[in-house]
Amino acid sequence: MLQCDFQFQYAEFNLKVKLQMQKQLLGIMGASGSGKSTFLKNITGLLQPQQGSILLNQQCVFDDQKKINLPMHKRRIALVFQNAWLFPHMNVKQNLKYAENLCPDQNKKFSFDQIVDLLQLKPLLQRASYQLSGGEAQRISIGRALLSSPDLLLLDEPLTGLDYKLKDQILPFLNSVKLETQLPMIYVTHHADELAYLNAQVVYMDQGSITEIPKTH
Amino acid sequence: MLSSEEWSALYLSVKVGFFATLFCLPFAIMLAWILARYQFRLKFVVEALLQMPMVLPPVVLGYLLLILFGANGWIGQYLNQLGIQLAFNWKGAVLASMIVAFPLMVQPIRLSFQMINQQLEQVAGSLGASPVRVFSSISLPLALPGILIGSILCFSRSLGEFGATITFVGNIPDETRTIPIAIYSLIQQPDGEQGAMRLVILSILVAFGALIANAYILQNYQRKLGGKDAAM
């Protein structure tokens, strides 16, 4: 699970977070510009905090005092964006295999077939990324992230931009991922109903700070 | 049909163009990547230096190459000791073409790198791909259209290269007499007009063939990506 206590400043914006994940799924809500995505970027290593520490499963990935700053590709933290960002020069199977092949065999948590079954991707495997609907692309993006066998999965507004019908299709998949993989996840969204559905520990971010005491549903 | 001299000029031009493109490619990709992705204080100096061969008279470039790489040149004297001779040699024609065509190769590759959405690279990194792997498996394939265009531009410019080449490597039949130099030689002769015209037509055909091949490969690649904006 994730434990972090850090500060990140960029121009006038100051992000100050002290947080400990208590449940497998941590939901972060907050207005646009409140710092949710900046928080995720600090966790993944895309941005570097000025002060503090970030621990994942008791292993330090960042500590300014100890001068530890694991590069992004060594943190084992997968990121799913609002846009699926499938690699356009690869078909669906190649996208999934790309992630699977990046993980050493001894660290693999899920098999290719397991993820394909879980997210019902089999009929899509030979398709090019431009032949997919938004919902299908997002399912593949989630599958690809899982196949990299991360220790933490970050979902940055993964359902934003999808219509309600598609959301209703994908949320059960996310719930299956949560229940069947037991993988720690952080889910950023504007929609409380998504977090309620997924039974997440919810925190609120406001102007770069976690303003409410973490509460559980 | 073509005479043996004309065949020789054609063969030499294609050989020079091919090797100039091949040797330019790694340097052009590296420089294009740096210019597309990094900001540094003296970037404007690098950009100006890159464009220099485009604005300098080709004869000036050829003369500078002669000073640097001639048998007694600053660098050439040491290369000579290693048995490498560039001046008045087809390898020198490759070097001259590389210098002249390099900026034309860098610009489209740089644009291609700039147009790749960096979130694709970030996703690959978050999946566990090292920066080298992200570059080789994501950035480079997505920049392929720019690399192809840059290569064709470099090759085509090499085919047409005249001023720097004739100044640096001269006009030696079967060694440095490429198509443009052969055309120049022929039009200096009283009965050379027909031969010159044949080589002119040949130049047009080779250049058109290269551009057609380029357009065909690009079209197929874009179809694979699902439209020209798919990677951007």
Residue range A104-130, pLDDT digits in tens:
888 888 889 988 988 888 999 999 988
Q: Look at residue A212 in the predicted model and tell me its pLDDT.
A: 55
Q: Compute the distance between CA of residue A194 and CA of residue A171 in angstroms, rounded to an integer.
A: 7
Residue A47 one-letter amino acid: L
Tell me if B102 sits within 8 A of B53, measured CB to CB. Answer: yes
Q: Look at residue A191 in the predicted model and tell me its pLDDT.
A: 86
Q: Where are the domains of chain B?
A: 4-56+88-225
- Helical ranges in chain A per DSSP H: 36-44, 92-102, 112-118, 134-147, 164-181, 192-197
Chain B contact set for A92 (CB, 8 A): none
Residue B5's pLDDT band, with cuts at 50, 70 and 90, is confident
Q: How far is B30 from chain A (nearest CA, A)?
A: 21
- CA angle B154/B158/B159 to nearest 5° reads 120
Low-confidence residues of chain A, pLDDT below 70?
211-217
Residue with tokens 């998504």: A194
Element (H, E) at B214: helix B193-225
**What is the pLDDT averaged over residues B108-123?**
94
Q: How far is B60 from chain A (nearest CA, A)?
A: 43
Q: Compute the distance between CA of residue B107 and CA of residue B73 in angstroms, rounded to an integer.
A: 31
Q: Compute the distance between CA of residue A202 and CA of residue A215 in angstroms, rounded to an integer.
A: 6
Q: How far is A84 from chain B (nearest CA, A)?
A: 9
- Nearest C-alpha in A relative to B230: A88
| pLDDT tens per residue across span A3-39 | 888 999 988 888 998 888 888 899 999 888 888 889 9
pLDDT over threshold 90, residue B78: yes
Q: Name the interface residues of B facing A (CB cutoff 8 Å).
A: 117, 119-120, 122-131, 133-134, 137-138, 141-142, 144, 224-227, 230-231
Q: Name the interface residues of A facing B (CB cutoff 8 Å).
A: 44, 46, 71-74, 76-79, 81, 83, 85, 87-89, 98-99, 102-103, 128-131, 144-145, 148, 154
pLDDT over threshold 50, residue B228: no
Residues in chain B: 232
Chain B contact set for A144 (CB, 8 A): 127
Tell me if A42 sits within 8 A of A10, measured CB to CB. Answer: no
Residue B227's pLDDT band, with cuts at 50, 70 and 90, is low
Nearest to B126 among A77, A89, A103 (CB): A77
Q: How far is A194 from chain B (nearest CA, A)?
A: 23
Contact state of B124 with A44 under an 8 Å Cβ cutoff: no
Residue in A89, A97, A129 to test binding to B, most B beta-carbons within 10 Å: A89
Tell me if A188 sits within 8 A of A28, measured CB to CB. Answer: yes
Chain A contact set for B126 (CB, 8 A): 44, 72-73, 77-79, 145, 148, 154
Considering only residues B112 and B223, tell me which one the structure prediction assigns the higher pLDDT.
Answer: B112
| pLDDT tens per residue across span B24-63 | 999 999 999 999 999 999 999 999 999 999 999 999 999 9
Q: Look at residue A158 in the predicted model and tell me its pLDDT.
A: 86
For residue B137, give the DSSP letter.
Answer: I
Q: Where are the domains of chain A?
A: 2-216
- The neighbouring-strand residues paired with A27 are A187, A202
Q: Look at residue A165 in the predicted model and tell me its pLDDT.
A: 75
Residue in B117, B118, B121, B126 to test binding to A, most A beta-carbons within 10 Å: B126
Q: Look at residue B226 in the predicted model and tell me its pLDDT.
A: 67
Tell me if A201 sits within 8 A of A17, measured CB to CB. Answer: no
**What is the pLDDT averaged over residues B227-232?**
45
Q: Look at residue B215 in the predicted model and tell me its pLDDT.
A: 84
Tell me if B154 sits within 8 A of B21, measured CB to CB. Answer: yes
Q: How far is A46 from chain B (nearest CA, A)?
A: 8
Residue with tokens 């941005």: A47
**What is the pLDDT averaged over residues B140-154?**
92
Go through B43-52 and write b for each residue having 16 or more CB atoms within 10 A of its CB, e for each that does not.
Answer: eeeeeeebee
Contact state of A129 with B230 under an 8 Å Cβ cutoff: yes
The predicted complex's ipTM stands at 0.87
Structural Rg of chain B based on CA atoms: 20
Burial class (CB in 10 A: 0-12, 13-18, 19+), B33: middle
Which class would CATH give B4-56+88-225?
A: mainly alpha
Q: Which of A162, A210, A161 is nearest to A186 (CA)?
A: A210
- Nearest C-alpha in A relative to B221: A89
Mean pLDDT value across chain A = 88
What count of other Cβ atoms lies within 10 Å of the Cβ of residue B59? Answer: 14
Q: Look at residue A105 in the predicted model and tell me its pLDDT.
A: 87
Q: Compute the distance between CA of residue A184 and CA of residue A191 in angstroms, rounded to an integer.
A: 20
Domain A2-216 has CATH 3.40.50.300: yes
Element (H, E) at B86: none
